[in-house]
Structure 1
C-alpha cells in the first residue's frame, strides 16, 4: 500500500484550463471521495492519477515515487470504471485472472489470489459463470474483484455505481465500504452523488470548475460549509437559500422575511448576504415564518413539505406523524444556531456555525 500526493496538478486543453493547480494529500489506507457537478474536473483528476491523461503541470506521487512519466501499468494502480468492461466470452474466474496471466504470474499464485478475492466478494458460487449470466451488482463485484487480485498500491473508482438501480446502489455502497475495510488500500472515489461520497469516504473533496472548494470529513462539510457552493451541494435535500440585506442583528429579504444569526466577523447595515437553512433544521408548528403548503412528499418516516414563504418555495422536513395537507398553512422557525449566512459577493460563510 501507499499514500498519494498531488502537488500543484494542472490540466489544460490548449487555452482552456480545466484543473487549476490542485494540491491534495491522501494518507496510506485512506478513502477519499472527489465530488462535484458534471464538468468540475473530478474524473480528469482520476485519469491523470491513473496515467490515462497527461498532466500539464505539477507532480503525482504514489508512495515515494513521482509517477508523472510512468505508464499506467508501472504505477501499480487498479481502476474500477462506470462500465464493468468484462470480457463476455470469459468466465468470472478468467476475467479476474486475466491480467495476472498477462503479467506472467505463476498459476498457483493466480489461483490463490482469485479465490481469495472471490471469497471476500462472495463470488465463489459464480466463478464458472459468464457475465451475461450475472446481475448488474454481481458484474460490478467481478469488476472490483479483478482490481483486488492485482494487490495495487491505490484503488481508483470512477462512478462505479451509476449504472445500477437505487436498491443495488445502496447494497454496493455497503460492499465497497466493507471491501475497503478488509483490504485497507488507499482509495480515490469519484462521484457526482454527494450521498455516496458522504456514506463511503473518510474525507470528501468538493470540486467546482477545477478548483477545490473544501475538503474535510463528511460531517464537517455538512455542518460547516466553507462557502455557498459547498452548502448547496452537500446535504439532501439541498439547503434553502434566501437573498437578504443586513439590518442590525438580523437579515431581511426583499419580501419581508427576517432571520436572526450569529456573525463570525463584522457585518454592516445594507450588506448583501445569502441566508441558508437546511430543510431538516426548520422547526415546524410555530414561529415567525408562515406560508401556504404547496406540495407534500411523504417518504415513510419523514415528509418533505414545500412552503410558499412570501413567494419563495421553501422545503421543510417534518415527521410523518404530522398531518399536513396541500393548501394548509404552516408556521416554522429558523433556529439561530442553524442559520447560515454567506457573503453576498464572495459566497464565503460569515456566520459562526
Structure 2
C-alpha cells in the first residue's frame, strides 16, 4: 500500500488546457472516487497517475516518491478498465497470472497468487474456462483478479462497471467494496455515476472542467454542497433549483419565488433582503405529511418505482421532482401539495453559485 499525492498538476494538449492546477493528497489505504461529467478530466488525471499520460506540469508522488519519469510498470500500480481486455485464447488462470509470468515469477508463486485471488473473487470454479464462456460480471472479476495478483501499491479503476447492465453493476459494486475491505489497498476510482461514488468511496472528489469543485466524505457532499454544481451533481434524483428573492423579517427568513410562493429557510443561511438567489430542494425532502413551507403545483408526471413514487409537478413555472414513499395519492393534472422543512432548503447566490 502507498499514499498518492498530486502537486499542482497541469495537463494541456497543445494550446488546450484540460487539467488546471490540481492538488490532492490520498492517504495510505484510502478509497477515493473522482467524479464529474464527461470531459471534466477525471480519466486524464487517472492516466497521469498511471503513467499513461505525460504530465505537462506538476508532480505525482506514490509512497513518497515522485514518479513522473517512471514507466507504468515501475510505479507498482494496477489498473482496471471498463473494457475487460482479456486474452481470448487463455484460460482465466492464465489471464490472471500472465503479468506475473512476464515478470519472471516462478510457476509455484504464480499458481499460489492466482488461487488466492480466485478465492477472494469467487473465481475458483472458473479458472479453466476461457473468456468466451464467462458472463460480463465474471469477466470483470477476472480483470480485477489480474490486478489483485500483482499485489500493487495502488489500484486504479477507470469506469470499470460502465459496460455492465444495471443488476450486474449493483452486484459488482458490492464486490469491489468487499475487495477493498479485504486488501485495504489505496484505490482511486473514476466514474460519472455518483451512486457508485457515494456507495464505494471514503472520500469523493468532484471535478468540473479540469478543476476540483469540492472534496469530502459522501455524506458531507450530500448535506453541505459548496456550490450549485456540486449540489446538482450529488444526489439522485438530482436537486431541484428555483429562482427567487430573499425576503422575510429577521428571525424568520424566506425566499419569495416567481409566483409569490414563500419558502422559509433556516436562520443559518447568510442572505440579505432583496438578494437574488436560487434555492435547492432535494426530491426526497419534499414530504406529503411533514411540517414546513407548503408548496403546491399541478402534477405533470407520476412514476411509481415500487417502494417510492417520483412525482413531477409545476412550481412557480419550473418542473420540480418529489420522491414520496409508497404510492402517491395524486394523478396527472391534479394538484400536489408537499411541504419542506426550512433546514432542508439550500440557498445559493445567483451570481457566483456559491452556497449561502
Query: Same fold by TM (over 0.5)?
Result: yes
Would the alpha carbon gap of residues 6 and 26 (structure 1) be closer, same or farther in structure 2, given more than 3 Å must change? same
| Paired position in structure 2 for 1:14 | 14
Paired residue secondary structure (2:298): strand
CA drift of 1:332 comes to: 1.4
- Measured in 2, the distance between the counterparts of 1:290 and 1:123 equals 54
| Paired position in structure 2 for 1:294 | 300
CA drift of 1:42 comes to: 0.3
| Paired position in structure 1 for 2:183 | 183
CA drift of 1:321 comes to: 4.0
Match status 1:339 vs 2:348 = no
Paired residue secondary structure (1:284): coil
Would the alpha carbon gap of residues 263 and 208 (structure 1) be closer, same or farther in structure 2, given more than 3 Å must change? farther
Paired residue secondary structure (1:49): helix
| Paired position in structure 1 for 2:227 | 227
Mapped contact 1:34–1:191 kept (Cα < 8 A): yes
CA drift of 1:300 comes to: 0.5
Mapped contact 2:314–2:320 kept (Cα < 8 A): yes
- Measured in 2, the distance between the counterparts of 1:240 and 1:207 equals 21
| Paired position in structure 2 for 1:327 | 333
| Paired position in structure 2 for 1:303 | 309
CA drift of 1:227 comes to: 0.6
- Measured in 2, the distance between the counterparts of 1:346 and 1:210 equals 18
Deviations 1:242-273 (A, max 9, x none): 01112232211222222121354653332211
| Paired position in structure 2 for 1:52 | 52
- Measured in 1, the distance between the counterparts of 2:328 and 2:268 equals 36
Mapped contact 1:8–1:23 kept (Cα < 8 A): yes
Match status 1:284 vs 2:288 = yes
Paired residue secondary structure (2:310): strand
Mapped contact 2:258–2:316 kept (Cα < 8 A): no
TM-score (norm 2): 0.96
- Measured in 1, the distance between the counterparts of 2:336 and 2:297 equals 6
Unaligned runs of 5+ in 2: none
- Measured in 2, the distance between the counterparts of 1:323 and 1:253 equals 26
**How many residues are paired up?**
350
Mapped contact 2:7–2:58 kept (Cα < 8 A): yes
Supply the RMSD in Å over aligned alpha carbons.
Answer: 1.2
